[in-house]
Amino acid sequence: MSSIAPDPAELAPAWFWLLGADLARHAQHDASRIVQLATVRADGRPANRSLVFRHFASRGRLVFTSDMRSGKASELADRPWAEACWYFPDARVQWRLLGRCELSADPADAEIEKLRGKLWAELPPSTRATFLWPAPGGLRSPRKDFRVEATDTPPETFQLLVLDPEQVERLDLREAPHRRQRWEFGQGGWMPREINP
Amino acid sequence: MSSIAPDPAELAPAWFWLLGADLARHAQHDASRIVQLATVRADGRPANRSLVFRHFASRGRLVFTSDMRSGKASELADRPWAEACWYFPDARVQWRLLGRCELSADPADAEIEKLRGKLWAELPPSTRATFLWPAPGGLRSPRKDFRVEATDTPPETFQLLVLDPEQVERLDLREAPHRRQRWEFGQGGWMPREINP
């Protein structure tokens, strides 16, 4: 093997590249960045909402932004698991990514803390303002409370949600019979399997 | 009040009409019928997948189809709760519908049982065939096992998933500040509220 060949152990898992390829193919659609994130509520019932996928972090982690005061933030503080579901209608491809999901309130992760500053800087002023609005979920506040000026430094309410997948599935509905691939992370690293759709 | 005016108590809740209006506006997009349904796994972790919204039933219930052998079917048998999440990218509108969600294996519900026959009849042969394929989730079966001929009567594997919402939210991201409406079902019927986005 040539010395310039990368060490496979240092590469992100295979699903990471396939997901990146599916995303790249749909980059012209803004909607392709929208995923649904499922969590579990304090009372044991499921919760589900749409989020914008913002960035990849090392080891194929998925990064979203979240208001620290949101329902998902408190649900994840209690039970740090989520499954993201992505559907690309044109390609008829679905992705499911299940794993630990935590709010990046821990500034010890330098990579995530740096990304937090970068993502804040990239947000349009209208999105930044939402993190200074009255706390989400409460009874509607008067209009004047929404007139805020966003700062250049991210407020404490602005946090990253980091999903670290342990089980990933890709379902391709174009092929007949459908193709369903699953990757599971275990002691031996990522284990790929073909399973029945 | 004129005698032809409907009794408001017999009408479906307000959110039902608003959701219908959002769906009608997007009827030209096939993708508008795709929703993500969150459930809770046996181990307490969340699950999330895409489903095609098939039909409304009385009281604003949402009807999907499901293979009785699927993961969601066994999850719902164990914990009959789901939250559906809908996102209409063009309108920038999100719907969340939380409620009891059960597999219609009970033929005592005549409305649902009738709908089951109707939906089966409307499915294209390629979709009908999937209910006769090898059980989903197992190791990939040989190609020949997927060569099946669908029947005119629905097989037992073909069931309806019926979601009976108890809490519904509509989030409109076009308006600034965003508008978030919540309806909760309680002793006095459906209670609407405006809450902070």
Domain edges within chain A: 8-109+159-195
Across A41-80, where does the E strand assignment appear?
46-52, 55-57, 61-67
pLDDT > 70? residue A69 = yes
CATH class of A8-109+159-195: mainly beta
Compute how many other C-beta atoms are within 10 angstroms of the C-beta atom of residue A68.
17
pLDDT tier at A1 (50, 70, 90 boundaries)? very low
Task: Determine how β-strand A93-103 pairs with β-strand A158-172.
Answer: antiparallel
* Interface subset of B 64-123, CB within 8 angstroms of A: 79, 81-85, 87, 89, 94, 96, 98
Our CA angle for A122, A168, A115, nearest 5°, is 20
Q: Cβ contacts (< 8 Å) between B37 and chain A: which residues?
A: 48
Residue A123 pLDDT: 96
pLDDT > 80? residue A172 = yes
Residue A175 pLDDT: 85
Residue A150 pLDDT: 84
Compute how many other C-beta atoms are within 10 angstroms of the C-beta atom of residue A190.
18
Residue B114 pLDDT: 95
**pLDDT digits 0-9 by tens, B4-59:** 666 655 677 899 999 999 999 988 887 889 999 999 999 999 999 999 999 999 98
pLDDT > 60? residue A136 = yes
pLDDT > 80? residue B107 = no
Topology of the domain comprising B8-111+157-195: Pnp Oxidase; Chain A (2.30.110)
Predicted-complex ipTM score = 0.94
pLDDT > 60? residue A2 = no
pLDDT > 70? residue A16 = yes
Q: Cβ contacts (< 8 Å) between B197 and chain A: which residues?
A: 130, 133, 136
Q: Residue B194 corresponds to which tokens in the numbers above?
A: 């405006």
Residue B8 pLDDT: 58
Report the SS3 class of residue B97: strand
**pLDDT digits 0-9 by tens, A175-194:** 889 999 999 999 989 999 99
Contact assignment for A137 to B176 by CB distance below 8 Å: no
Q: Work out the mean pLDDT of chain A and round it to a whole number.
A: 93
**pLDDT digits 0-9 by tens, A28-58:** 887 899 999 999 999 999 999 999 999 999 9
Contact assignment for A83 to B143 by CB distance below 8 Å: no
Q: Cβ contacts (< 8 Å) between A167 and chain B: which residues?
A: none
Interchain contact A28–B (C-beta under 8 A): no
Residue B1 pLDDT: 44
pLDDT tier at A125 (50, 70, 90 boundaries)? very high
CA dihedral sign, ordered B160, A75, A95, A27: positive
% of chain A residues with pLDDT over 70: 93
More confident residue, B109 or B64: B64
